Amino acid sequence: MATEAKRPKTGDEKSVLEPLNNFLLWCESVQLTLSDKVYLSKEGTAAEYGMLAKEDIEEGHVLFTIPREALLHQGTTKVKKVLEEGKKCLESASGWVPLLLSLMYEYTSSTSHWKPYLSLWPDFRTLDQPMFWSEEECDKLLKGTGIPESVITDLRKLQDEYNSVVLPFMKSHPDLWDPEKHNLELYKSLVAFVMAYSFQEPVEDDDEDEEDDEKKPNLPMMVPMADMLNHISKHNANLEYTPECLKMVSIRRIGKGEEVFNTYGQMANWQLLHMYGFAEPFPNNINETADIKMASVYKAAAQVARSEANQQLLEDKWKMLCEMEVVGEKGVFIFGQSGSLTYHELYTTLKVLCMSSQIFEDFRENEGWEEDDEDDDDKMEQDLSFEGLASLSVEWKRLLCVAATETLDSYNEDVETDRRLMEDQRALAELSSRERRALYVRLGQKNILQRIQQLTK
């Protein structure tokens, strides 16, 4: 835990240590136990608060244990009864409204059980997801990454949800919420807080349950202490869920002085920036991905189908792929660091688009593949891996190359400009934090797209 200082504390140290010490006292009071081998700090961490190793830690060590009663969610908040009674009218697309109402109440209540925890973030000033950037800035720095479109949708949804669900509910409980205090601005900050700090317990795998695939994801919840850990893709700790408590466990040896890193999931940089407001420096993120719009592959095919008959054939093929739910209007093919991650969809699309009219007729009559014609998953994955791309047929490669080129052209600047910037230490140091994070996202994506382009030329 924070070390005892032997000299008088400066104002800055006090403003960091006081909330942290209050939080640690609260942890003791709720039986949240922390290993002696780690401590919380704002120094020597990837960003603001984080956890550091005081001494070498072996794999499998329990770093801290959080009893379930210490979690903050709609089932533990002081307002749980009214939330339960109003369950029906609090339903919304995101499913986040009950947690957000709990947070609005607890965050502004001077007697909240979670006050020492929530006081660690007195103003949410450190949250800087692109939802707080201007539209011009988003467009200038992130065009092509997919983030500006997601942000527009998020902002529209949160405003709709606030006005149509949250506000009427608060008005019907004036003893608990006050729309003057619990306004849209606070709601937006809390949405960003939930995006960046909440946890969703994984859905249990239950082989006997036939409807397993349809199981709904668990609702988000706030997990004190666990949410003070930063993330990297090569993390060294993991959160485990048991019926009584949650445990953060080291998954490899952590050396003295090293930061303890959790994982927020297998996140590409665009997801990290969109949801959490940061990106791993290029090329550190081993979960980096790039999307190619399905519509771009269609466009590439339309370029070669010049005659009217071929255009018609292409339209029929695309319609069939839509009916088979292989492609969709807004769908994307995703590529990771070693090739296609959506290889089943991409393989089927390329195969159908490059079929002769005769074979397509048979395919349509059979309503899909004959069993003998269907390729297995391993072959699809291998053929569409970066090792396999160069050996694809000329037609398949052409479609991929044209679609990758179109995707690369959708950014404001070319890949070489971004690469030069990344390599120029002085220019990099002069970038604003937003410019730097956006560069990491763009370059990670462009690097994958350029690889596809080069392998399919």
DSSP state of 299: H
Contact residue for ligand SAM among 40, 52, 100, 232 (CB under 6 A): 232
Q: How far is CA 346 from CA 152, 226, 339, 360, in A?
A: 28, 38, 11, 17
Site string for ligand SAM, 94-133 (x = CB under 6 A): --------------------------------x-------
User: Hey, what amino acid is at 205?
Assistant: D
Of 296, 406, 289, give the one whose Cα is nearest residue 353.
296
Exactly one of 196, 222, 392, 422 binds ligand SAM (CB under 6 A); that residue is: 196
- 230 contacts ligand SAM (rule: CB under 6 A): yes
* Chain centre to alpha carbon of residue 352: 32
Tell me how crowded residue 173 is: count the other CB atoms within 10 A of its CB: 16
Taking contact as CB under 6 A, which single stretch among the options 84-92, 226-234, 401-409, 439-447 is the one that binds ligand SAM? 226-234
3-state helix, strand, coil in the chain (%, to 5): 50, 10, 40
Report if residue 440 touches ligand SAM, rule: CB under 6 A: no
74 near ligand SAM (CB under 6 A): no
Write down the least CB distance from residue 364 to ligand SAM, Å: 49
Taking the C-alpha atoms of residue 287 and residue 274, their distance in angstroms, rounded to an integer, is 15
| One-character DSSP codes across 331-346 | -EEEEETTEESSHHHH
Rounded to 10°, the helix 433-456/135-142 angle is 40
**Pair type for strands 33-34 and 62-67:** antiparallel
In the complex with ligand SAM, the residue whose CB is nearer, 145 or 230, is: 230
**The residue type at 14:** K
Smallest distance from the beta carbon of 69 to ligand SAM, in angstroms?
Answer: 21
- Least distance to ligand SAM, CB of residue 45, Å: 7
444 binds ligand SAM (CB under 6 A): no
Among 177, 197, 333, 347, which residue sits at the site for ligand SAM (rule: CB under 6 A)? 197
Q: Is 221 in the site for ligand SAM (CB under 6 A)?
A: no
Q: Which residue is nearest to ligand SAM (CB)?
A: 48
Compute the least distance from the CB of residue 229 to ligand SAM, in Å: 6
How does DSSP classify residue 254? B
Interface with ligand SAM includes 431 (CB under 6 A)? Answer: no
Is residue 228 part of the contact set for ligand SAM (CB under 6 A)? yes
Sheet (strand 290-293) strand order: 290-293, 332-336, 339-340
231 belongs to the binding site for ligand SAM (CB under 6 A) = yes
Residues with Cβ within 8 Å of 206's Cβ and at least 6 positions away in sequence, in order, are 212
Kindly state the smallest distance separating residue 148's Cβ from ligand SAM, in Å.
Answer: 19
Residues of this chain that interact with ligand SAM (CB under 6 A) are 46-50, 126, 196-197, 227-228, 230-232, 276-278
